[in-house]
């Protein structure tokens, strides 16, 4: 196994990287610093200081309940500026209990003086009620609404290299793209963090994925992570860190890295993490400055003699469009080998596949053509909606290109059908036997609705190509 390519030393706003005494992996370095130690080893149990705690409308009320039960009804959170609350899951539904969850969050925010609450409505004293009479397609949210939490966190300037981010959602690991330790935790742990700012963790072993080369036309970051999960299995990284580095990382955009880190949990990983480089710095600096969030940070750098429990070289230039077949993300096959599978539905959206770059790649395939199956598009955030509607290719915006191709695009950015939701959720699969190809991240039975449906995971490009033919299709057929 070749040695990883080392990035040049970086001086961040917080100072020089001279804290550590021994060679460690990226994850070990972040956790050591958060524990106030010069060194940690895999398997150790350590108390870790949190930089950010994120929660949303599904787990937020439960977390608040645990916090009040354990710390008292009048307790105060450990740091109101370190808690980020983003309603995003069951938002655009007439289900009264789902609507009420958002109101519970709002009441808690007012009580605690929490600064970063991205409410669905503008009135801090109001109540949220989705109006089905207005339909699913036109926006029903206010100015501060941020959309899907994992995409919104970096957009709003809450992801910083070298930090520890806990979130009450398994795909919190997406923020590892920014050189931080980011992982999902349950409501009980989150309630404890909310009151103390600390959590007891076991340091995970690290698996090493050395990326080289660059992706070819028609191949996307989704194909990278589907390839890796196909190699190790959907439980192959259980409670391990997945470290992605090597010269191939330089060719990946921050969106690409987010897609890869997001699905680390689909292999059972505790977290995924990328090295810090100029692209990371540029993104973080722009977003923290724009949103007036904390701008200082201290990244962790690659050491020469890191210890890994597993190593895999991935040549990006040799990858092809892939599909994870029903019923789990580890069932990897090449798209070109699955043309016999007829489809009923296509779906582009979620934290994994609902970024602006994802829709742009889909639009390149769909431009001037028409889909032949029901195809749904759900942008991850309002910012993505705005970008697609204001970026023009000739006379048409990218949004127009998608709509003209027959994609049912909603302005109500959210998780939507990625995790099923109430029966009136946009794009939800409500009938048995439906076969759907989706740019989302998980395809266990019932994930997108009916338990008798089948979900095939693929890149936005592959989803778009398949929507044009009604069968699983390699997007290179349309390039």
Give CA–CA dist 335/473, Å, rounded. 6
Per-residue pLDDT at 9 exceeds 60: no
Q: What percentage of residues in the chain have a pLDDT greater than 90?
A: 95
Q: What band does 19 get if pLDDT is binned at 50, 70 and 90?
A: low
pLDDT averaged over every residue in the chain: 95
Per-residue pLDDT at 139 exceeds 90: yes
Q: Confirm if 127 and 98 have CB atoms less than 8 A apart.
A: no
Reduce the DSSP state of residue 201 to 3 states and report it: strand
Which one, of 444, 448, 439, 447, lies nearest residue 467 by Cα?
A: 439
Note the helical H segments in 10-73: 26-34, 60-71
Q: Confirm if 354 and 348 have CB atoms less than 8 A apart.
A: yes
Per-residue pLDDT at 11 exceeds 50: no
Nearest 5°: the CA angle 193, 194, 197 is: 50
> Which secondary-structure segment (H or E) carries 149?
helix 149-155
| Residues comprising the chain, all counted | 479
Q: Taking the CB of residue 392, how many other CB atoms lie within 10 A of it?
A: 12
Instruction: Dump pLDDT digits (tens) for 97-107.
Output: 999 999 999 99
Per-residue pLDDT at 63 exceeds 90: yes
CA 51 to chain CA mean position, Å: 18
Q: Confirm if 417 and 429 have CB atoms less than 8 A apart.
A: yes
Tokens standing for residue 321: 């469009």
Instruction: Dump pLDDT digits (tens) for 303-323.
Output: 999 999 999 999 999 999 999
Instruction: Dump pLDDT digits (tens) for 146-201.
Output: 999 999 999 999 999 999 999 999 999 999 999 999 999 999 999 999 999 999 99
Beta strands 392-393 and 396-397 are: antiparallel
Q: Confirm if 112 and 80 have CB atoms less than 8 A apart.
A: yes
Give CA–CA dist 15/18, Å, rounded. 9
Beta strands 310-315 and 374-378 are: unpaired
Instruction: Dump pLDDT digits (tens) for 349-385.
Output: 999 999 999 999 999 999 999 999 999 999 999 999 9
- Residue with tokens 């020089």, as numbered in its chain: 16
Beta strands 408-409 and 435-438 are: unpaired
Per-residue pLDDT at 418 exceeds 80: yes
Give CA–CA dist 225/160, Å, rounded. 23
Q: What band does 291 get if pLDDT is binned at 50, 70 and 90?
A: very high
Note the helical H segments in 178-330: 187-196, 221-232, 254-262, 278-291
Per-residue pLDDT at 250 exceeds 80: yes
Per-residue pLDDT at 15 exceeds 60: no
pLDDT at 22: 82
Per-residue pLDDT at 270 exceeds 70: yes
User: What burial class does residue 252 get, using C-beta atoms within 10 Å of its C-beta: 0-12 exposed, 13-18 middle, 19+ buried?
Assistant: buried
pLDDT at 21: 65
pLDDT at 5: 33
Instruction: Dump pLDDT digits (tens) for 108-123.
Output: 999 999 999 999 999 9
Per-residue pLDDT at 18 exceeds 90: no
Q: Confirm if 261 and 176 have CB atoms less than 8 A apart.
A: yes
- Residue with tokens 């793209």, as numbered in its chain: 177
Instruction: Dump pLDDT digits (tens) for 318-346.
Output: 999 999 999 999 999 999 999 999 999 99
Q: What band does 16 get if pLDDT is binned at 50, 70 and 90?
A: very low
- Output the DSSP codes for 156-220: TT---TT-EEEESSGGGGGGGGGSSEEEE--HHHHHHHHHHSEEEEEPPEEEEEEEES-PPTT--
CA 76 to chain CA mean position, Å: 29
């Amino acid at each position: 196994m070749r040695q990883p390519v080392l990035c040049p030393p970086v001086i961040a706003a917080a100072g020089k990287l001279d804290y550590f005494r021994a060679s460690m992996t990226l994850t070990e370095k972040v956790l050591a610093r958060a524990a106030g130690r010069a060194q940690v080893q895999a398997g150790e149990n350590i108390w870790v200081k949190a930089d950010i705690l994120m929660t949303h409308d599904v787990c937020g009320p439960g977390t608040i309940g645990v916090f009040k039960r354990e710390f008292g009804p009048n307790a105060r959170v450990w740091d109101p500026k370190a808690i980020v609350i983003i309603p995003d899951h069951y938002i655009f539904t007439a289900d009264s209990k789902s609507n009420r969850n958002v109101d519970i969050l709002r009441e808690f925010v007012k009580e605690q003086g929490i600064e970063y609450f991205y409410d669905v409505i503008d009135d801090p004293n109001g109540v949220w009620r989705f109006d089905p009479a207005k339909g699913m397609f036109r926006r029903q949210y206010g100015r501060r609404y941020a959309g899907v939490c994992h995409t919104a966190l970096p957009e709003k300037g809450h992801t910083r290299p070298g930090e520890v981010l806990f979130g009450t959602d398994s795909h919190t690991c997406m923020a590892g793209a920014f050189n931080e330790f980011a992982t999902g935790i349950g409501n009980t742990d989150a309630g404890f963090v909310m009151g103390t700012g600390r959590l007891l963790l076991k340091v995970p072993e690290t698996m090493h994925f050395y990326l080289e080369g660059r992706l070819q036309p028609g191949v996307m970051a989704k194909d990278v992570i589907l390839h890796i999960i196909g190699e190790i299995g959907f439980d192959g990284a259980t409670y391990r860190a997945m470290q992605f580095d090597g010269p191939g990382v330089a060719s990946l955009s921050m969106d690409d890295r987010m897609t890869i880190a997001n699905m680390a949990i689909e292999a059972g990983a505790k977290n995924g993490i990328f090295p810090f480089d100029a692209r990371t710095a540029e993104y973080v600096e722009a977003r923290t400055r724009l949103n007036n969030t904390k701008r200082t940070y201290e990244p962790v750098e690659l050491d020469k003699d890191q210890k890994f429990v597993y190593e895999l070289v991935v040549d990006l230039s040799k990858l092809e469009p892939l599909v994870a077949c029903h019923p789990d993300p580890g069932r990897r096959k090449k798209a070109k080998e699955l043309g016999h599978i007829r489809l009923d539905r296509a779906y582009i959206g979620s934290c994994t596949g609902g970024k602006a770059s994802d829709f742009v790649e889909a639009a390149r395939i769909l431009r001037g053509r028409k889909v032949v199956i029901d195809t749904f598009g759900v942008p991850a955030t309002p910012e993505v909606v705005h970008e697609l509607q204001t970026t023009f290719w000739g006379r048409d915006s990218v949004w127009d290109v998608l709509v003209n191709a027959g994609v049912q695009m909603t302005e109500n950015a959210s998780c939507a059908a990625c995790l099923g939701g109430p029966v009136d959720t946009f794009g939800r699969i409500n009938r048995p036997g439906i076969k759907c190809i989706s740019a989302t991240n998980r395809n266990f039975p019932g994930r997108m609705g009916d338990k008798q449906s089948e979900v095939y995971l693929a890149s936005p490009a592959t989803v778009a190509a398949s929507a044009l033919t009604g069968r699983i299709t390699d997007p290179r057929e349309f390039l």
